[in-house]
A and B are shown apart, each in its own frame.
Chain A
């Protein structure tokens, strides 16, 4: 499995907010993708958009709720079309399956189209350890493979890189003259990969959807690399998380409308490839073998918790990343694993274990922008709160050493807030203590013992001279200030 560094979230995000190049890259992405997404919604009308979201959600709810049934249907129909389905419980098993397929077919060279599951599995390193050459062919993935990095966004893996950084990388790794001309850089990648496409023995792709009734794998891409990877090599291996299934061919339409618009604001991508089994005898060309590897790798844990199940409805469009005030500051790498942003803060703890990723559910302001942007109406803030609850009330191992202070503070705060009398006393004491140090009614970014992690980057307001309930009482008795009755 890909290396998990989720425990480093706090220091990594602190470093990220100080990275000027990253900030510039993130700002461009946030306004770019989200702006075109909003335009695309306006174009179809917000009412129609809501109908699509509801339909998509109904389909996902139904399929995930009967996932065992649809997995069986999918397997039967892939097999009937001449393909083979393999089931992997974890990353190690999935990697072993792909390695074995490669060995059985004497594979030397692999071309890959973008697959987040393969990133999750750390598949490239497994194959490379067996001296198989693996070429990522999506331009973003190609860039991060050359840089030996991981993706920082669900749909734009190299989003964190500026053109200057890519130019330097190409010059260093490919020996081409340094150029910051983006068109020229794309041409360099085209030339570098052209012959690989035609010569590769095996093509590996992800799956955006799996259609149970027809046994089909659906990928949507813009570059054409997906079509080349699934058409030219002798063997095609598709990788998919088990949640990718939809029941019928007719269910596909609404997802083809929602996914590109949510991801990049495109009305449709340049390519949609639906693959059903290997080439037939009457076909002109195509792979001789088709394999589909279905991966659990912790997903059944998310499935088993009714409060987290809807995280499996995710279609990986990345819209929640583009609107998230936290992702927009810290970028994808700070999250420490393959799936960043709001949905990643639920999926990652589910797949790697909450004890290892307990900072992630806290990396949210709970503003709800992610829920509003989600094309399948996933209630991300509700699940983040659920995970925070599990961290606070769950087994000891989920807590920080020293988090007892936090817990004590929270309990004290709860006691004060639930008693009007204590709140009144607390307010008066607080005001008396803090007022002499304040400027303009607030304590600017100070280091107050116990709560310094909160206050050192935020202003702390001094309690007001009169409480709301005092003002209210005076208002009712007719002697207080006016203005509360509009």
Chain B
């Protein structure tokens, strides 16, 4: 068993330490086990594409049926986990909310990703109208790295889209893509996530069933990261007292669109 990989494997960096076969031999000896797969197949590891597709299809159908309830649940849970949830009927209302935030914060520099959600939401123009500057945090060659980072560190707000939002946990999920720096949602002190109804899933199990299908379809590539964001950055490391905004944002806003 195993998934055929299309990607070039490795980047030519040698493995250090002891050979993996020797390491596994120690483990095998400790277990008193013969080499080979488990005698009972592990059901969560099935690579039968038909099964995985069927499972994902069931999940998608249930989500489609329950979308209004899931949006309500997402809004409620996200609120409990520390998001400022703002439900909007359309792009215009969403833009109004974002610009009022920019004004309240007095943020002169607002970083954003370059994602499809902004195509129908001209956020740059709206923020410019409110006296701020909204700029896409994308790199143009390695030389721009330091400059983009420094600008990010000085920005008062970062705006991103979402790939998923989980009703069970109140989390926004982001996946890697061109146009989305990993730092936009974590470096500025305020993060705004734009969530569309089609992003919502019910549970952690829903999410992992859907991602697993993508993984197997992609020939075994997960993408470099899958990140959950659930409320503001917080710590309780001094006397169990909760403080928000220690290294990540102190304030997070979920702009939840009721329609696409």
Chain A residues packing against B (C-beta within 8 Å): 25, 28-29, 32-33, 62, 65-69, 71-72, 75-77, 79-82, 84-89, 93-94, 96-97, 100-101, 137-140, 143, 156-158, 161-163, 166, 182-183, 185-186, 189-190, 193-195, 197-198, 213-216, 222-225, 227-228, 230-232, 242, 247-253, 256-257, 264, 267-280, 282-286, 289, 291, 293-294, 296, 300-301, 303-304
Q: Which of B20-28, B99-107, B126-134 lies at the interface?
A: B20-28
Contacts of A76 in B (CB 8 A): 2
CB-CB nearest in chain A for B12: A84
Given contacts A231-B186, A252-B208, contact A274 B226 (CB under 8 A): yes
B204, CB-defined interface residue at 8 Å: yes
Contacts of A215 in B (CB 8 A): 222
Assess whether B215 is in contact with A249, with CB atoms less than 8 Å apart.
Answer: yes
Given contacts A81-B221, A284-B138, contact A278 B243 (CB under 8 A): no
Closest 6 CB pairs of A and B: A224-B248, A140-B237, A304-B30, A248-B44, A272-B228, A253-B204
Q: From A93, A275, A285, give the contact of B139 (CB < 8 A).
A: A285
Contacts of A277 in B (CB 8 A): 222, 224
Contacts of A296 in B (CB 8 A): 23, 26
B116, CB-defined interface residue at 8 Å: no
Assess whether A268 is in contact with B81, with CB atoms less than 8 Å apart.
Answer: yes
B7, CB-defined interface residue at 8 Å: yes
CB-CB nearest in chain A for B24: A68
Name the residue in A32, A89, A249 with the highest tally of chain B Cβ atoms < 10 Å from its Cβ.
A249
Assess whether A276 is in contact with B224, with CB atoms less than 8 Å apart.
Answer: yes
CB-CB nearest in chain A for B19: A87
Closest CB in chain B relative to A193 CB, distance in Å: 7
> Can you list 8 A-B contacts with CB-CB less than 8 angstroms, sorted by A residue number?
A62-B38, A71-B27, A79-B10, A140-B237, A213-B45, A216-B222, A232-B182, A276-B221
Contacts of A267 in B (CB 8 A): 80-81, 169
B15, CB-defined interface residue at 8 Å: yes
Closest CB in chain B relative to A74 CB, distance in Å: 10
Assess whether A280 is in contact with B223, with CB atoms less than 8 Å apart.
Answer: yes
Closest CB in chain B relative to A307 CB, distance in Å: 13
Assess whether A283 is in contact with B176, with CB atoms less than 8 Å apart.
Answer: yes
B232, CB-defined interface residue at 8 Å: yes
CA distance A76 to B24 in the complex (A): 13
Name the residue in B5, B8, B203 with the highest tally of chain A Cβ atoms < 10 Å from its Cβ.
B5
CA distance A253 to B44 in the complex (A): 12
CA distance A195 to B17 in the complex (A): 33
What 0/1 pattern do residues 210 to 246 of B give for CB contact below 8 A with A?
A: 0110010000111111111111111111111101011
Q: From A28, A139, A274, A303, give the contact of B246 (CB < 8 A).
A: A139
B180, CB-defined interface residue at 8 Å: yes
CA distance A33 to B36 in the complex (A): 42
Contacts of A84 in B (CB 8 A): 10-11, 13-15
Contacts of A137 in B (CB 8 A): 247
What 0/1 pattern do residues 71 to 99 of B give for CB contact below 8 A with A?
A: 00000000011100000000000000000
Contacts of B230 in A (CB 8 A): 268-272
CA distance A309 to B72 in the complex (A): 45
Q: From B17, B23, B203, B227, give the contact of A271 (CB < 8 A).
A: B227
CA distance A65 to B31 in the complex (A): 7
CB-CB nearest in chain B for A276: B222
CA distance A228 to B208 in the complex (A): 24
Q: From A65, A216, A223, A256, give the contact of B233 (CB < 8 A).
A: A223
Contacts of B15 in A (CB 8 A): 84-87
Contacts of B16 in A (CB 8 A): 86, 96-97, 100-101
Contacts of B44 in A (CB 8 A): 247-248, 250-251
Contacts of B2 in A (CB 8 A): 76
Q: Which of B187-217 contact A (CB under 8 A)?
A: 187, 203-205, 208-209, 211-212, 215
Given contacts A28-B239, A282-B177, A284-B181, contact A271 B11 (CB under 8 A): no
CA distance A351 to B231 in the complex (A): 38
Given contacts A72-B20, A285-B181, A300-B26, contact A228 B186 (CB under 8 A): yes
Assess whether A80 is in contact with B7, with CB atoms less than 8 Å apart.
Answer: yes
Contacts of A25 in B (CB 8 A): 239
B35, CB-defined interface residue at 8 Å: yes
CB-CB nearest in chain B for A143: B237
Assess whether B222 is in contact with A268, with CB atoms less than 8 Å apart.
Answer: no
Q: From A224, A249, A268, give the contact of B169 (CB < 8 A).
A: A268
Q: From A67, A75, A264, A284, give the contact of B180 (CB < 8 A).
A: A284
CA distance A120 to B9 in the complex (A): 32
Closest CB in chain A relative to B3 CB, distance in Å: 8
Assess whether B30 is in contact with A286, with CB atoms less than 8 Å apart.
Answer: no
Contacts of A274 in B (CB 8 A): 222, 225-227
CB-CB nearest in chain A for B204: A253
Q: From A101, A249, A286, give the contact of B211 (CB < 8 A).
A: A249
CB-CB nearest in chain B for A67: B27
Closest CB in chain B relative to A45 CB, distance in Å: 15
Contacts of B80 in A (CB 8 A): 267
Closest CB in chain B relative to A25 CB, distance in Å: 7
Assess whether A166 is in contact with B212, with CB atoms less than 8 Å apart.
Answer: no
Name the residue in A157, A230, A283 with the highest tally of chain B Cβ atoms < 10 Å from its Cβ.
A283
Contacts of B139 in A (CB 8 A): 284-285
Closest CB in chain A relative to B246 CB, distance in Å: 5
Q: From A62, A88, A248, A268, give the contact of B17 (CB < 8 A).
A: A88
B183, CB-defined interface residue at 8 Å: yes
Contacts of A198 in B (CB 8 A): 149-150, 153, 187
Known: A140-B235, A268-B169. 4 other contacts (CB 8 A): A76-B2, A81-B221, A250-B209, A304-B29
Closest CB in chain B relative to A351 CB, distance in Å: 14
Closest CB in chain B relative to A96 CB, distance in Å: 8
Assess whether A80 is in contact with B224, with CB atoms less than 8 Å apart.
Answer: no
Assess whether A81 is in contact with B237, with CB atoms less than 8 Å apart.
Answer: no
Closest CB in chain B relative to A264 CB, distance in Å: 7
CA distance A286 to B14 in the complex (A): 21
Contacts of B203 in A (CB 8 A): 253
